[in-house]
C-alpha cells in the first residue's frame, strides 16, 4: 500500500469540521484513523462537472456472473462492459461481508470499523424512527458514524440533493450516511415508505406512485425464464434449492394481496418497480438538472433474495442477472433521455458476494455436511457464567464476532481472560473451524501480512466489546443456515465488481486489484470535491483516465 497523503483542509469545510467535533463530544460521531488517504483534484479542465452521480448497488453480485453471461447481456451490463471502466478484482477489505456494512463502506470510503455499521443485525433498525406507514420496524442511520460521499458534495454546495431508493431499508439508508434527504424503501405491502428520521409526511409524488399500486399487476403471475431453455446450462431440478420446495420453473407469485406483496421481494419484478420508483423521483424532484451536483442512489436487492433462495449455481440466479441487465439498461437509457448524458457519472458495485450451498460443495448425503455448530460451546460458556451470577447476554456471538462485557464479569469476580481462553480453546476444536483470533492480536497479525486478520481488524470498532473472531474453513456455513449465504472474510464473499462510466473515463477492463473503499474518493475526484474527514480509500482516477493498462506510477495493493 502506498504512503498516504493528508487531505487539504479548505476553508469551506472548517465549519463542518467544528460541527463534527461537537457531535464527537456528544457521542454521535467518532473520529476515524485512516489506512490510506489522498487529496483529490479536478480530474480534467475540459470535463464539465457532473450534475448527476448515480450510485448503483446490486446486492450479492459476483464478477464471475459478468464474465460467464456477457454474451447474453443486452442492457446495462452490456453498456457498462463496453463503455465503462471495469474492475473485476475489487474487494471489500472487511470480514463481515453483509448488506449493511457493504453499503456503508462503498459510498463512504471507510471500513466498518470506522463507519460503525458492522452487521446487518445492528445496521439501521431504530424503534425511535417509526415508519410513516407500512409493515416493518423503524429505521434510521443513527449507528452510522462520520460522513459519506453525499456529505462531501453538500459541504461544497448546499443546494446538492439526493434520492436513495431500495427494496431494503439498509440499502436505501446507508449509501447516504446520516444525510436527511429523500430516502425510501419497500414496505412489504406494495408501497414505498420512509421513517420519521427523514420526514413527517409523504411527498405527493410518492403518494401518486404508491396509489398506482405497481405491485398489483404481478400478483398471480408466473416467473418464467427470460431466454429459451438452451441458453441456460444450469440444472433446474436441484432439491436443496429454495428449502426443497418450488425449485423448478415456473415460479408463481401468490395472488393473495397480503402474502403476495410480501413475497414480491423474492421475484425479479421487485427490481423493475424499484427502478420505476427511482425514475419517478428523478422527474418529480428535477434531480440532476444542475447547476448543482445531485446524487441518485439505487440499490437493487432481488439478486440477493434469489441468490439466498436458489444459490449462485442455479438457473434462477442466471435468469435474475439477465433481468438485472435489462432493468439497468432501462435505468441508464431513461436517465440519458431525461438529462444531459455528458453530465452524468455512474458507479456500480455490490455489497458482498456469496458462497455455494454446502450440499453442492461437500459430497455425501449428510444433511449437516459443511456446517459448523457453535451453539453447544456458547451455551456451555453462558451456563458457566450464569452459575456465577453473570447474565447470559454478557457473552454474545454475532456473525462471527464474540463480544464480552468485562465489567459485568469483574463485578461478579469472574476473570474475563480465563473465560476467553477457555472459550477459544473449545471453539478451535470444532470440526470445520479454521481459526479463532483474539481481537487484541488482529493488528499485529495484519501487520505481518495476514489478510484474514486484516479484514477482521477492519470490521471491528474499538467500542464493540469484541474479544474473539471466528473464521470457518472455506465454504463452511453456520449450522442453522439452510440457504445460500455470505458473511466470511474469504474472497468469494469479498470479491465484487466495480464500474465507473461517464465523461473523461476511458472504457475498458482494468487488471488492478482495488478495494471498495476506493469508490467514494474516486467519485469525489470526478466531481471535484474533497472528503471532509480522513478515509480509508484513495481515488482511482489515475486508472480511469489512462485506459485499461495501468500507469507505471499507479499505486499497488
| Partners of residue 116 on adjacent β-strands | none
Is 374-429+433-472 a CATH 3.30.1360.150 domain? yes
Q: Cell 458514524 sits at which residue?
A: 145
pTM summary value: 0.91
Between CA 144 and CA 176 the distance in angstroms is 10
Between CA 208 and CA 204 the distance in angstroms is 6
Domain residue extents for the chain: 50-359+491-544, 374-429+433-472
| Per-residue pLDDT, 397 | 97
| Per-residue pLDDT, 31 | 35
- Tell me if 378 sits within 8 A of 397, measured CB to CB: yes
Cβ count near 356 (within 10 Å): 16
Between CA 529 and CA 424 the distance in angstroms is 46
> In degrees to the nearest 10, what's the CA dihedral of 484, 321, 539, 151?
-80
Give me the tens of pLDDT residue by residue for the chain, a chain 557 residues long.
Answer: 333 333 333 333 333 333 333 333 333 333 333 333 344 444 443 578 999 999 999 999 999 999 999 999 999 999 999 999 999 999 999 999 999 999 999 999 999 999 999 999 989 999 999 999 998 889 999 999 999 999 999 999 999 999 999 999 999 999 999 999 999 999 999 999 999 999 999 999 999 999 999 999 999 999 999 999 999 999 999 999 999 999 999 999 999 999 999 999 999 999 999 999 999 999 999 999 999 999 999 999 999 999 999 999 999 999 999 999 999 999 999 999 999 999 999 999 999 999 999 999 999 999 999 999 999 999 999 999 999 999 989 999 999 999 999 999 999 999 999 999 999 999 999 999 999 999 999 999 999 999 999 999 999 998 899 999 999 999 999 999 999 999 999 999 999 999 999 999 999 999 999 999 999 999 999 999 999 999 999 999 999 998 786 444 444 34
Q: Which fold is adopted by the domain 50-359+491-544? A: Alkaline Phosphatase, subunit A (3.40.720)
| Per-residue pLDDT, 24 | 35
C-alpha cell at 475: 465454504
Amino acid at each position: 500500500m502506498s504512503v498516504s497523503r493528508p487531505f487539504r483542509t479548505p476553508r469551506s469545510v472548517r465549519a463542518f469540521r467544528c460541527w463534527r467535533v461537537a457531535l464527537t463530544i456528544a457521542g454521535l460521531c467518532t473520529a476515524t484513523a485512516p489506512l490510506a488517504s489522498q487529496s483529490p483534484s479536478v480530474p480534467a479542465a475540459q470535463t464539465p462537472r457532473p450534475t448527476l452521480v448515480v450510485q448503483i448497488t446490486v446486492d450479492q453480485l459476483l464478477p464471475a456472473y459478468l464474465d460467464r453471461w456477457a454474451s447474453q447481456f443486452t442492457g446495462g451490463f452490456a453498456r457498462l462492459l463496453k463503455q465503462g471502466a471495469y474492475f473485476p478484482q475489487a474487494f471489500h477489505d472487511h470480514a463481515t461481508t453483509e448488506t449493511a456494512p457493504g453499503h456503508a463502506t462503498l459510498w463512504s470510503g471507510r471500513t466498518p470499523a470506522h463507519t460503525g455499521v458492522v452487521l446487518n443485525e445492528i445496521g439501521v433498525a431504530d424503534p425511535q424512527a417509526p415508519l410513516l406507514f407500512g409493515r416493518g420496524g423503524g429505521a434510521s442511520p443513527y449507528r452510522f458514524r462520520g460522513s459519506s460521499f453525499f456529505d462531501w458534495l453538500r459541504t461544497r454546495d448546499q443546494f446538492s440533493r439526493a434520492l436513495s431508493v431500495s427494496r431494503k431499508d439498509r440499502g436505501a439508508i446507508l449509501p447516504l450516511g446520516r444525510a436527511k434527504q429523500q430516502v425510501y424503501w419497500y414496505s412489504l405491502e406494495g408501497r414505498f415508505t420512509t421513517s420519521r428520521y427523514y420526514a413527517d409526511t409523504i411527498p405527493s409524488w410518492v403518494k401518486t406512485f404508491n396509489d398506482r399500486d405497481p405491485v398489483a399487476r404481478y400478483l398471480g403471475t408466473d416467473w418464467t425464464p427470460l431466454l429459451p431453455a438452451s441458453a441456460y446450462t444450469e440444472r433446474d431440478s436441484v432439491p436443496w434449492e429454495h428449502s426443497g420446495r418450488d425449485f423448478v420453473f415456473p415460479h408463481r407469485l401468490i395472488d393473495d394481496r397480503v402474502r403476495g406483496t410480501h413475497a414480491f421481494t423474492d421475484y425479479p419484478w421487485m427490481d423493475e418497480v424499484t427502478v420505476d420508483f427511482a425514475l419517478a423521483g428523478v422527474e418529480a424532484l428535477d434531480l440532476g438538472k444542475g447547476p448543482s451536483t445531485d446524487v441518485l442512489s439505487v440499490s437493487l436487492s432481488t439478486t440477493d433474495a434469489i441468490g439466498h433462495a436458489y444459490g449462485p449455481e442455479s438457473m434462477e440466479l442466471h435468469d435474475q442477472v439477465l433481468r438485472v441487465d435489462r432493468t439497468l439498461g432501462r435505468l441508464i437509457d431513461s436517465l440519458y433521455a431525461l438529462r444531459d448524458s455528458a453530465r452524468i457519472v455512474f458507479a456500480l458495485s455490490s455489497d458482498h458476494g456469496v458462497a455455494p450451498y454446502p450440499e453442492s460443495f461437500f459430497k455425501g448425503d449428510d444433511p449437516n455436511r459443511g456446517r459448523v455448530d457453535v451453539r453447544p460451546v456458547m451455551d456451555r460458556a453462558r451456563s458457566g457464567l450464569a452459575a456465577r451470577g453473570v447474565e447470559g447476554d454478557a457473552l454474545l456471538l454475532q456473525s462471527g464476532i464474540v463480544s464480552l462485557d468485562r465489567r459485568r464479569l469483574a463485578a461478579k469476580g469472574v476473570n474475563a481472560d480465563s473465560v476467553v481462553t477457555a472459550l477459544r480453546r473449545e471453539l478451535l476444536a470444532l470440526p470445520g473451524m479454521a481459526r479463532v483470533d483474539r481481537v487484541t492480536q488482529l493488528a499485529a497479525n495484519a501487520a505481518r501480512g495476514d489478510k484474514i486478520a486484516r479484514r477482521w481488524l477492519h470490521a471491528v470498532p474499538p467500542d464493540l466489546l469484541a474479544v474473539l473472531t471466528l473464521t470457518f474453513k472455506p465454504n463452511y456455513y453456520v449450522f442453522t443456515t439452510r440457504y445460500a449465504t455470505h458473511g466470511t472474510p474469504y474472497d468469494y464473499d469479498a470479491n465484487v465488481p466495480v464500474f465507473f462510466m461517464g465523461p473523461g473515463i476511458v472504457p475498458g477492463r482494468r487488471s488492478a486489484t482495488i478495494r471498495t473503499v476506493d469508490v467514494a474518493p474516486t467519485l469525489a475526484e470526478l466531481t471535484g470535491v474533497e472528503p471532509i474527514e480522513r478515509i480509508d480509500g484513495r481515488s482511482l482516477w489515475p486508472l480511469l483516465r489512462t485506459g485499461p493498462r495501468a500507469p507505471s506510477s499507479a499505486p499497488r495493493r
